Amino acid sequence: MAVFRKIFVANRGEIACRAIRPARELGIPVVVGYSDCDALSLHVKLADEAVRLGPSPASMSYLDIDAVLRAAKDSGCDAIFPGYGFLAENPDFAEAVEREGLVFIGPSARVMRILGDKIAARKALSSSGVPVTPALEDVDDPGKVAKFGDRVGWPILIKASAGGGGKGMQKVFSADEVEESLATARSVAEKAFGKGTVFVEKFIEGGRHIEFQFLADRFGNVIHLGERECSLQRRHQKLVEEAPSSLLTPEVRAKMGAVVVKAMKDIGYETAGTLEFLVDREGKFYALEVNTRIQVEHTVTEMISGFDIIRKMYKISAGERLSLRQEDVLLRGHAIQCRVNAEDPKNNFAPSFGRIAFLRQISGPFVRTESGIYQGWEVPPFYDSLLSKICSVGKDRETAIQRMRRALREFDIWGVRTTIPLLRRIMDNPDFVAGRIDTGFIEENIAGLTEYADYEEEIFKVAGFVAEVSGLGRNVHSG
């Protein structure tokens, strides 16, 4: 069947490059938008056509709905793929796309509104039989919040009802901290999402962050592709992901997967999404939220399932039925993904930007790189810090870790500081290797994980020198 005449990718960086490839396999031309600082970016070079959206700040380019729609229509596209971030989970954007007669490659605006608000999502999931954490939605009275903390046990979490990425989240350890934490959470949520509504939930000590990838078509067919472990985070941002989780038994996996499938059928979801859970030390699982988009870490699921998830999204959005049944999904081996961010782990993960003086990305058997960078490219200060994703796969977790160690040793990037030295130490950490991890792992081990060997510091200094003498030296020491 014909899929689409032409697709507009409303994103940048590695996910835009990733989205171009399955479209090209299907014979579909791709148009991308770009901001001024991205005029020479890799996604612009890979696409069939590129259209300027506006100045470098995201609010004036990638987040400008009118500019994105105009670029898509003027270039003859009949569908828009949003990727993640920017406008990906914006129901107003999804509605605007459909009003213009284009196809939004993702769930409907109705579903996005339900699941994009954490309070509404909790209610929808709970009514479908999905366990959720004990929570308090009425937080106008700090006294009620304090009583909630006394009842469920401290600490508790204050969360923004909109958005994600941990923005606005406050961990509260006692009643004395409630009033100030509420004010801070509301302020951050208002600035980040334009909505200061917050709620409170029980904090799960020693929790494991485990999420299920699912696919759904418009005919009510839903399958899941197993789980991913995403417990290794810094400031609620994922850094290392793997599939499957070393925690779940086949019985628990089947139980959680069935819960996911039923909930998405009840909600009427379409295309791809992820239901995130927190699993406590007793093995009880609680839903956190649903991500109504492709996830950064979808790669590890692809590597053990054999499915191209974005290709599936294209076909489902074009009206194709899911021909697979759950019993047709066979998961083989173990995959790990490490995020290479332009950040300095030694400096509280401060952003680093500048020109990439030298780049050697990984190659070889059983590894994969998803990247939006190249040697000589200028890392801009305006966007998310993700540069590349390194993925490895093996017959078991031990083999996948071994291959990731090899891949991280091969990956060289000079001119900006990155998370690579930290990732190398994580792969060598005995607790990580043994699977003894939870969401507090990086915070609790940060001192040891940032004890870099001197030669790695010297490499950065040498990179600056090489860049300077070769005329590439602007901002190499930034961050």
- Residues carrying an active site annotation: 293
Query: Rounded to 5 degrees, what angle do the CA atoms 326, 327, 328 make?
Result: 90
Q: How far apart are CA 445 and CA 425, in angstroms?
A: 10
Cα–Cα distance, 175 to 384 (Å, whole number): 35
Note whether 76 and 5 are within 8 A (CB): yes
CA 474 to chain centre: 30
155 upstream amide cis, omega within 30 of 0: yes
340, two tokens? 């290479």
- The angle that helices 298-305 and 309-317 make with each other, rounded to 10 degrees, is 90
**Residue 197: both structure tokens together:** 């509504």
SS (H, E, C) the chain: CCCCCCEEECCCHHHHHHHHHHHHHCCCCEEEEEEHHHCCCHHHHHCCEEEEEECCCHHHCCCCHHHHHHHHHHCCCCEEECCCCCCCCCHHHHHHHHHCCCEECCCCHHHHHHHHCHHHHHHHHHHCCCCECCEECCCCCHHHHHHHHHHHCCCEEEEECCCCCCCCCEEECCHHHHHHHHHHHHHHHHHHHCCCCEEEEECCCCCEEEEEEEEECCCCCEEEEEEEEEEEEECCEEEEEEECCCCCCHHHHHHHHHHHHHHHHHHCCCEEEEEEEEECCCCCEEEEEEECCCCCCHHHHHHHHCCCHHHHHHHHHCCCCCCCCHHHCCCCCEEEEEEEECEEHHHCCEECCEECCEEECCCCCCEEEEECCCCCCEECCCCCCEEEEEEEEECCHHHHHHHHHHHHHHCEEECCCCCHHHHHHHHHCHHHHCCCCCCCHHHHHHHHHCCCCHHHHHHHHHHHHHHHHCCCCCCCCCC
| φ, ψ (nearest 5 deg) of residue 257 | -60, -40
Tokens of 34: 């770009």
